[in-house]
Amino acid sequence: MDIGGVRRERPRAQPGRMSTARTWLPAGNLRRMRPFSLAHRDADVADATSGEVDVLVVGIGATGAGVALDAASRGLSVVAVDKGDLAAGTSSKSSKLIHGGLRYLENYEFALVHEGVVERQQLMRLAPHLVRPMEFVYPVWPDTARRRLVGLGLTTYDVFAVASLGTLRSDVRRHERISVEEAVELAPALSRSGLTYGFVYGDCATDDARLVLAVVQEARRFGAVTLPHAEVVSFTPDAAGRVRGAVLADHLTGRTHEVRARHVVNATGVWVDRLMTAADARHVPAVQPSKGVHVVVPHERLPLDEASVLLPSKQGDGRSMFAIPWGRQTILGTTDTAYDGSLESLALEQDDLDYVLASGNRVFDRSLTEDDVLGAWAGVRPLLKGSPDGNGAMGDLSRRHTLIEGESGLITITGGKLTTYRRMAADVVDLIVGRLGTKAPCRTDEIPLGSARPLAALVADTVAAATAVGVSAEAAKLLVRQHGEAAASVLGLVAADPALGAPLSDAAAHLVAEVVHAARHEGAATLDDVFARRMRLSLRSRDAGMPVAPLAADLLARELGRPAQWAQQQVRDYADAVRRERGVLAATVPDPLPALASSST
């Protein structure tokens, strides 16, 4: 890693057995978790501002949440803040994969791929309900570049997985060559692709935003305070000019708070340069944002059953893409282009949409058009400064991460990818512990994230409990995938009020009860928080869930003690947010006024 411009490698611990006892923690640091809810916002703010804390983390995406958990689990006092909802930036707009990065082998980035595979194996243990094995098909055509090297690359991928486990057993499938018929059976969308043969290999899928939530929940259990919708407006320096805290603008209450901290971590992703400049006016930008766009189409238009497809470039530009099964939908993406526009005005543009659809059609020959698109998202990844080619394409730049310690004492972590958030967080907290002159090893490889039970047993028990209260098996399985062991809490709401067991949307088997649960236990403060990141309805449904938005907003208002006017404004604000992100497809979002009028009659 880079610290102050000097590369320093720290020794890596071998993956250990997961412990749920956590007896290695200081007894006073592990407390009964206060519910993550706006109802407890004042208590959280009081804890954050009552004295100097050890660590202030700015940014509650995957890396920031990881830093909060790592530091808190080592016995440090932690406050984590974000100007928006948790995971509202890049961490909710990924390809929703936990993977080693097979394509990086083309650039001989073996260390990066090995790190990703090791972390993938760890996360499968720590969050089996969220990080699930998935088969991937790599199709091969007569003109596939370097196709003889694909098998060698996949063998290397398998070796890394075996080495990370220290055993020949793995829940992730080892690669093998397959026939055309076998490839089409796994991924029916390939039936018209004209492939010669294929390879199948294993990686993992996830729900990125809910993975971040699981890390946040665990960080809170270890004593961390998390304040989404609280923006850093200035840093607080000490007499020597070193950063020792920050002033926050609380967007939920309109109040201003000051948090004093011995160490401040900048984990704001593509926004890191802004905070680094605020701390040091001479700072030279370190990040080149790379824009990535995904579109969602109905499963029947791009049928994939249990296997995703890694699409080798057929556009002649060297880019690769994924087609990923996502319940009743299929994800297609991503683009990878240099982005220098406003980070607050990111949206789907016509060139993005045309590129993704054309790439998919070249492989699958399905004549996909704009009319097939149910939803879309655009995100920006924080890649380390590089040199895009003459066409502005970023290609497959490395996702390595870097750690920078500025003259002001601000610690900045950037680069990397979702899969390696835990390793990035460990590097940050190692630096802080080194500053303190103490010995406190990283233990996040032993801390379950939302479930410590065997997945099959948890699913079986949840389906049985759901059946008893009139909830379908499909909905019960989705509850487990979303909530882990907390699925029982959601079903408890249904048992107390059967009306909450009603389906919420045709896009996915969500329940009305999940809106209430999001407000009481998942830190949701706005309708956008619920539909965009707790349930993903803004991405999965052409109508973005607008027909049920008034119902959800009313439930949210009731839970948060807000008036009816607030609920109506939430529906309007949510519709505006989805339109902004969908850009050229903004017209697909229905007008909220008819839904609001219907709900008031």
Positive or negative: CA dihedral 249, 219, 458, 331:
positive
Q: Give the pLDDT of residue 1.
A: 33
- Alpha-carbon distances of 137 from 153, 179, 186, rounded to whole Å: 14, 11, 8
pLDDT on residue 390: 36
The maximal CA–CA distance of the chain, rounded, in angstroms, is 71
**Strand-strand pairing, 230-237 and 225-227:** unpaired
**By 3-state DSSP, what share of the chain in percent is helix, strand and coil, each rounded to 5?**
45, 20, 35
442: three-class secondary structure by DSSP: coil
pLDDT at 170: 59
Quote the pLDDT of residue 164.
Answer: 66
- Nearest-angstrom CA–CA distance, 234 and 375: 36
pLDDT < 70: residue spans in the chain: 1-32, 145-149, 164-170, 313-318, 386-399, 595, 598-601
Look up residue 417 and give its two tokens.
């990818």
Structure confidence at residue 103 (pLDDT): 76
CA 51 to chain centre: 31
Tens of pLDDT, residues 3-44: 333 233 333 333 333 333 333 344 345 555 789 999 999 999
SS3 329: strand
Rounded distance between C-alpha atoms, residue 236 and residue 258, angstroms: 8
CATH of domain 2-7+45-90+209-286+400-446: 3.50.50.60
DSSP 533: I
139: part of which helix (H) or strand (E)? strand 132-140
**CATH number of the domain located at residue range(s) 91-117+127-203+288-384 in this protein:** 3.30.9.10
The residue length of the chain stands at 601
pLDDT at 346: 93
What is the rounded CA–CA span in Å between residue 534 and residue 8? 38
